[in-house]
Amino acid sequence: MALLPPEDVLRPLADAVERLRADRSGPAVGLRWASPKSWHITLAFLGEVPAGVRPALARALARVAAEYPPAPVTISGGGRFGSRVLFAAVDERPLAPLARAVAQAARQAGADGLDPRERRGHLTLATHRPSPHRPSPHRQGRRTDAPAPAPAPADQPNLAVLVDSLAGVSARPWTATGFALMSSGSPPGPPYATTATWPLAG
């Protein structure tokens, strides 16, 4: 479940991200950047939803949408989840009641794959997944219980530096007028597809 900011709202952020991406030898080395066309703000991650649950889920989400009004969205600055995710920060306060209602409705409808972790408003910009270590031929005899060598720092992105670079970057002011149910896509198609949308009408 997600909010989908319009392209014109995201343009200042997209321009700033493009400048970061262009420096291939700098702190962004090794990152996998999300396409701006797939950018979204997650309200709740439902996991795999069984086909038999989907009609009840749709009805529950429609009731939530009818009860909640459009919500102001502020996207400003950056943050990171450890060394693996770079994101644009989203002001959680106006969205928290809607996010809680969406999660509760989904749970009551039978979607039991909800992510149990505490939600933090964000828009994912890039991810980093270190390649598994592959020992060179002359190391094949190394003891199996010996620790693998640490990745070379030159091969790692410096997310802290990138977060600092995003400190003065903001998207344009925007009011979310609806939310969407999204599903993961498969290559070579887009990473996400919008399955259904509901207007906020409270």
Residues designated catalytic: 40, 122
Q: Which distant-in-sequence residues (6+ apart) come within 8 Å of 133 by Cβ?
A: 148, 149, 151
Distance between CA atoms of residues 123 and 74, nearest Å: 11
Q: Which two tokens stand for residue 89?
A: 């920060």
Quick check: 128 and 82 in contact, CB under 8 A? no
DSSP letter, residue 170 = B
**Within 36-176, where are the H helices?**
54-67, 96-109, 159-165
CA dihedral 100, 104, 110, 113 (to 10 degrees): 40
